[in-house]
Structure 1
Amino acid sequence: MVDIATRVYNHKWKIDPIVRSLIDTDFYKMLMCQSVFRNKPNTQVTFSLINRAKDIRLADMIDEGELREQLDHVRTLSLTRGESTWLRGNTFYGKRQMFRPDFMEWFEKLRLPAYHLEKIDGQYELTFEGSWPEVMLWEIPALSILMELRSRAVTGHMDKFELQILYARAMTKLWEKIELLKPHDGLRIADFGTRRRHSYLWQDWCVQAMGEGLCDKFVGTSNCHIAMNNDLEAVGTNAHELPMVYSALAQDDAALAQAPYDVLSDWQDEHEGNLRIILPDTYGTQGFLDRAPDWLAGWTGIRIDSGDPAGAAEVAINWWRSRGEDPTKKLVIFSDGLDTDKIIELHQKFAGRVKTSFGWGTLMTNDFRGLNMSGKTDTLAPFSLVCKAVKANGNPTVKLSDNPKKAMGPADEVERYKRVFGVGEQRAMEVVV
């Protein structure tokens, strides 16, 4: 087991690049990248960093030279022979050769494209522009770098003893959460915590602790590199990025209304009936399901990533019933801002009514809340940092979500999307992470 405190204390030795592999990323990014490579390879996109926590002034905390050094390091990375072999030959979700030879040949030659970085009013403006399959792979490394540099900035002045105590407290905190989860039969939980983790080493420790503590209740990790190194299942399907870009490419309102279903039609063709999980909330869950074609009701399940999770699960159950499907045979994956209390509550509430699984993210891999207080400031508490596609072929992207606080896009386009997708009043909920 790695002595994390000592490694953190010595991180200036440069033995710990923040991103150490092109597959130190979420599995769903790989799956989506292959789909985009096949269906929309020439689409030009812009991704941009968005810090929802404006009070955390990242440019005042993180040295620009160090940030550039880490970003430049990512641009030197390419697949190792072992990583390529793992992707080409491993079995994912029961399917061998999940990644096609033409995609792998392209990926093996890939180096990530250039970035644009500047400081504006205490924040970093970080953008990536270029072809969609290349640029999309910057999202997770960019977030991981910013989050870990923030962690390093806070811990950089601690001595060895302080760091040992900090990580001992954090380990105890996670283990206490694991012990709360242990007694619940039928629980299925995976690590979804790459993008806003405290650090790579900490995420790796958390994943090992989950496997040791929860045994078969722990079903895998979204992080490809950690999955490969620990012989775990790599888990994930797709994200809001696909409907956001497809919708931005729509030529008129009719095409816009159809775009989210075009995404899933291409996905079904790409994966030959596997990985059939719907993410319905990009432009409002209720409206998406009301207008959904019947063939989508036959898919395996739904992932809930915004709004009231219990309410959204009830909507999904009612929708399956209305389409003649048995909800007890369907899967609901909860993945929005989860912690142990909410996981247990949802698991118990829906037991016997629908299959459930949980993607536990930031509050597993970055819950240092209350562990490092400076005055009245919780200096290591996680915060909401995202990197999203903001343009596609020059057109702005829009996300409405089931929580208006997660909405993004120009105001006039947001209103247009609300009209096209029939989104009415929404209940705002706090965005913790």
Structure 2
Amino acid sequence: MDIATRVWNHKWKIDPIVRSLIDNDFYKLLMCQSVFHNKPDETVTFSLINRSKNVRLAELIDEGELREQLDHIRSLSLSRGESTFLRGNTFYGKRQMFHPDFMQWFESMSLPDYQLEKHDGQYELTFEGKWHEVMLWEIPALAVLMELRGRAVLNNMRKFELQVLYARAMTKLWEKVEKLRGIDGLRIADFGTRRRHSYLWQDWCVQAMIEGLGDKFVGTSNCRIAMHRDIEAIGTNAHELPMVYSALAEDDAALAQAPYDVLADWHREHDGNLRIILPDTYGTRGFLDRAPDWLAGWTGIRIDSGDPATGAEVAIDWWKSRGEDPRDKLIIFSDGLDVDKIIELHSQFHGRAKVSFGWGTLLTNDFRGLTGGDALAPFSLVCKAVAANGRPTVKLSDNPNKAMGPAAQIERYKRVFGVGEQERMEVVV
């Protein structure tokens, strides 16, 4: 595929950015099934949040084009091949990951409507409805906005200028791959769907990782790419689950218990598989200190905010305190990673635990400096669950710059979860 030529050909009336319901992260489908079974009647609102206020999306992206792309996504349904692929995913060849009742629903669903407005140079994009329906908007909505912003920047470039740009981007990525290929014991996956430069570029990056890293590359979070490239689809769960469960809690005691209720439901849903803890929604230290003993037996922990080395040390100390050998446990680093940080963390923790990396935006969208400036630099755009049954959601994180929710509720959550002073860290992507 000549990516530059395809970009040049974006002059068609509509060139769909998302062409499949499984052009989505695998963990979203796994979470969707858990919600479908455990919280089928809850109403949740998702909203776009642009943390990079200097990127004024409503001034870059044409509203009519954005609506066309979103409307196209609403027209999609699973193909027979996609359904067969999902039904064929199993735990160690023994049990289907996706249950027949969930698949029957998924095969007949289409995404619900959206609300789109402009305010102060930004788009206000929201989705409201049954949780298991609206949650599937998050990743494709982000992918559309990221790619439309890229198209807006590239629109004034001519064909040979585009060819040079992509040649430079390919060289930049390949140099990263070359730095990683010599690391013994490396395990790395593509986590870059939500803020990718484009679908074609993510697919190219995955192919480069397959060729350049061999068995060090363990898979991709993107279901469609996993299917087409015959590699492992990677993913477990995300902050969305404890955020919504917590918003639904009736009092402080139920709130304190909510993050553990999430994992109890998850354990039952997946018959004891996919046992990765994401502990930072309301502070990693407090979550682990109060965790029931059965969680210490889980496979591992994903570290997604705060200083990653500090988070890994906290996890190792916690496993030791609960009588577990950290060398048998998996630590997945996934926050704002690029090559140098991956190499540093691997050197620091390889051998002390099993270490893996979910490489996201700086794998699939690192065009920094390639246009003579930062016009294509990645930025921090998220789509989060902001309310459940009319109650606001809250996220504290191990980095207060990632916190979200009404100020009064943030203070309440800090009190309930015992979160004190935290170090602020720059949110890169």
Could you say which residue in structure 2 is the equivalent of 1:88?
A: 87
Report Cα offsets for 1:113-168 as digits up to 9, x if no partner.
00000110100000000000000000000000000000000000100010000000
Q: 2:378 aligns with which of 356, 376, 382?
A: 382
1:16 shift after superposition:
3.7
Aligned-partner Cα distance in 2 for 1:89–1:215:
24
Could you say which residue in structure 1 is the equivalent of 2:128?
A: 129
- Correspondence list, 1:352-367, <5 A: 352-367=351-366
Contact 1:6 1:160 in 2 (8 A): yes
Q: 2:413 aligns with which of 410, 414, 417?
A: 417
- The AA in structure 1 aligned to 2:127 is F
Contact 2:89 2:98 in 1 (8 A): no
Identity %: 82
Could you say which residue in structure 1 is the equivalent of 2:403?
A: 407
1:89 shift after superposition:
1.8
Give the TM-score of the pair, scaled to structure 2. Answer: 0.99
Could you say which residue in structure 1 is the equivalent of 2:45?
A: 46
Q: 1:391 aligns with which of 353, 373, 387?
A: 387
Could you say which residue in structure 1 is the equivalent of 2:325?
A: 326
Q: Against the structure 1 CA distance between its residues 93 and 201, is the aligned structure 2 distance closer, same or farther, given a 3 Å change threshold?
A: farther
1:12 shift after superposition:
2.2
- Correspondence list, 1:53-202, <5 A: 53-91=52-90, 94-202=93-201
Aligned-partner Cα distance in 1 for 2:92–2:342:
23
Report Cα offsets for 1:162-211 as digits up to 9, x if no partner.
00000000000000000000100100000000000000000000000000
Runs of 4+ aligned residues of structure 1 deviating over 6 Å after TM superposition are none
Report Cα offsets for 1:371-406 as digits up to 9, x if no partner.
012xxx410000000000000000000000000000
Contact 1:92 1:234 in 2 (8 A): no
Across the aligned residues of Structure 1 and Structure 2, the Cα RMSD in angstroms comes to 0.8
Q: Indicate the SS of the match to 2:385.
A: strand
Could you say which residue in structure 2 is the equivalent of 1:431?
A: 427
- Correspondence list, 1:240-389, <5 A: 240-373=239-372, 377-389=373-385
Aligned-partner Cα distance in 2 for 1:88–1:352:
36
Q: Against the structure 1 CA distance between its residues 69 and 12, is the aligned structure 2 distance closer, same or farther, given a 3 Å change threshold?
A: same
Aligned-partner Cα distance in 2 for 1:265–1:14:
48
Structure 1, unmatched stretches of 5+, are none
Aligned-partner Cα distance in 2 for 1:13–1:314:
52
Could you say which residue in structure 2 is the equivalent of 1:26?
A: 25
Q: Indicate the SS of the match to 1:269.
A: helix
Q: Indicate the SS of the match to 2:117.
A: strand
Report Cα offsets for 1:250-294 as digits up to 9, x if no partner.
000000000000000000000111000000000000000000000
Say how many residue pairs are matched. 429
1:108 shift after superposition:
0.4
- The AA in structure 2 aligned to 1:26 is D
Give the TM-score of the pair, scaled to structure 1. Answer: 0.98
Aligned-partner Cα distance in 2 for 1:110–1:379:
37
Aligned-partner Cα distance in 2 for 1:230–1:378:
31
Aligned-partner Cα distance in 2 for 1:276–1:431:
27
Q: Indicate the SS of the match to 1:347.
A: helix
Q: Against the structure 1 CA distance between its residues 93 and 58, is the aligned structure 2 distance closer, same or farther, given a 3 Å change threshold?
A: farther
Report Cα offsets for 1:16-44 as digits up to 9, x if no partner.
41001000000000000000000001100
